[in-house]
Amino acid sequence: MLFDNHGRQINYVRIAVTDRCNLRCFYCMPEEGIQYMPKKDLLTYEEIVRLVTLLAQMGISKVRFTGGEPFVRKDFMRLVQSVSTINGITNIHLTTNGVLTAPHVKELQKAGVKSVNLSLDTLDKKRFESITRRDEFDNVMETLDLLLSEGITVKLNAVVMEGKNTEDILPLVTFTKSKLVSVRFIEEMPFNGKGNHNPTLHWNHHKILDHIRSAYPTLSKLKDEANSTSYNYAIPGHHGNVGVIAAFSRTFCGTCDRIRITAQGTLKTCLYDDGVLNIRDLMRAGVSDDELKATLLKAFKNRARDGFEAEQQRKTGRGVSESMSTIGG
C-alpha cells in the first residue's frame, strides 16, 4: 500500500488525456482564445500505459480518465482497453461530457468500466446551450440513457453557479425519483481559464443542501464510501440519490486518496497545486522504471496537507485560475 507524508493512502490516479474539448462550459474555459497545447506535448498512450503500470506496482488500483473531453482524442478507447489489462488496476472510471460517448458505451462496458461521471448542469436544453455554449443537449441525454441501459453506474456532475443554473437544482433532484443516478452538486471553483482568480463563492455546500432540504425535508444522510468527496443523501421513494461536493470549501482533504496527471504529464499531488514534476520530460529523457518510481514516491511523501496549503505553495504565488480542462476536475 502507498501512503503519503500525512498517512493518507494513495490508490487513485486521475489522468487528463487531452486539454481539448468540444464544449465551452462557462465555468471551465473562456468562449474564445483558448491556447491548446501542441499534440506532441501530450503524453502518448504508450507513455500513459507505462506510467499506470508503474503506479499499479506502487499500489494504485483505480484510474479515472478525464480531460478536456476524453473522446475528442483519437482512438481513446484503445487507451481504455490497454489500461484495463494492466495487472493491479481493478477499477477504471471516466468523466465525460457525453457528447461523443454514446457510440462507445457498449465497448466501455466490455472493457470493464463500471461507473461514468457525466457532466450535466441542467435539464433545460436552452440553459444547457447557454452554459456549455454548444447545442448538444440531446446527445448527452442519449448517452445517459445508454449508460443506464448497459447497467453502468452514472453520477451526474452539476456545477452550481449563481445566475446560471440555481433554478436547475430542484429539477435535477426530482430527476432522481425515476432515474437510478447520483446527482452531485459541485461548488464552483475558480478554475475557469480566464487568468483572473475570482474566489467569490455564492453557493457553498451548506447553501446547496439547505436549498434541497427546503423542498425535500425527508432527505436523509447516506453512509459515504471511504474517501468520498461527496456528502450523499437519499430521498424516500427515489431510485437515485443526491450528493454535494465541497470542492471550493475543501472539506475532504483529510482523506484524499488521489493524484492527478495533466495531459502534458505534470504530476499534481493536489488539485490546487500547480504541478510538482513533469513525468513526460523524465520519460523522454530516458528515466528508468526504478528511477521514475523513486521520484514519484518522493513527491507522494511531500504532499501538501490540504488544498489551502497547496494553493499557498503555488510557484506563481497567485491563486488558481487555469482552465479545469487542463486538470480534469
Residues in touch with ligand SAM (CB under 6 A) = 21, 27-28, 66-69, 95-97, 119, 157, 159, 186, 188-189, 191-192, 247, 324-325, 328-329
Q: What is the bridge-based pairing of β-strands 220-221 and 91-96? A: unpaired
CB of 20 to ligand SF4, least distance (A): 9
Query: How is residue 91 written as a grid cell?
Result: 477499477
Query: Which of ligand SAM, ligand SF4, none is residue 72 near (CB under 5 to 8 Å by kind)?
Result: none
How far apart (Å, rounded) are the C-alpha atoms in residues 69 and 57? 28
Query: Which of ligand SF4, ligand SAM, none is residue 24 near (CB under 5 to 8 Å by kind)?
Result: ligand SF4
**Cβ-count burial 28-55 (b if 16+ within 10 Å, e if not):** bbeeeeeeeeeeeebbebebbbbbbbbb
CB of 207 to ligand SAM, least distance (A): 15
208 touches ligand SF4 by CB under 6 A = no
Instruction: Give the x-and-dash track for 27-66 against ligand SF4 (CB under 6 A).
Output: -xx-------------------------------------
Q: What is the dihedral of CA 3, 11, 224, 167, to 10 degrees?
A: 120
Query: Which of ligand SF4, ligand SAM, none is residue 328 near (CB under 5 to 8 Å by kind)?
Result: ligand SAM
Q: Which is nearer to ligand SAM, 100 or 222 (CB)?
A: 100
CB of 325 to ligand SF4, least distance (A): 4
Which range binds ligand SF4 by CB under 6 A, 20-28, 46-54, 109-117, 301-309? 20-28
| Strand, helix or coil for residue 221 | strand
Q: Which is nearer to ligand SF4, 56 or 327 (CB)?
A: 327
Q: Which residues contact 295 (CB under 8 A, 6 or more apart)?
A: 277, 282, 287
Query: Please, what's the largest Cα pairwise distance for the chain?
Result: 59
φ/ψ of residue 185, rounded to 5? -90, 125
Query: Which of ligand SAM, ligand SF4, none is residue 193 near (CB under 5 to 8 Å by kind)?
Result: none
CB of 197 to ligand SF4, least distance (A): 18
Instruction: Give the x-and-dash track for 82-121 against ligand SF4 (CB under 6 A).
Output: ---------------x---------------------x--
Q: Which residues contact 198 (CB under 8 A, 6 or more apart)?
A: 190, 321
Residue found under cell 487507451: 79
Q: What is the dihedral of CA 125, 127, 132, 137, to 10 degrees?
A: -10
Q: Which residues contact 114 (CB under 8 A, 6 or more apart)?
A: 91, 92, 93, 152, 153
Query: Which of ligand SAM, ligand SF4, none is residue 157 near (CB under 5 to 8 Å by kind)?
Result: ligand SAM
Interface contacts to ligand SF4, rule CB under 6 A: 21, 23-25, 28-29, 67-69, 97, 119, 324-325
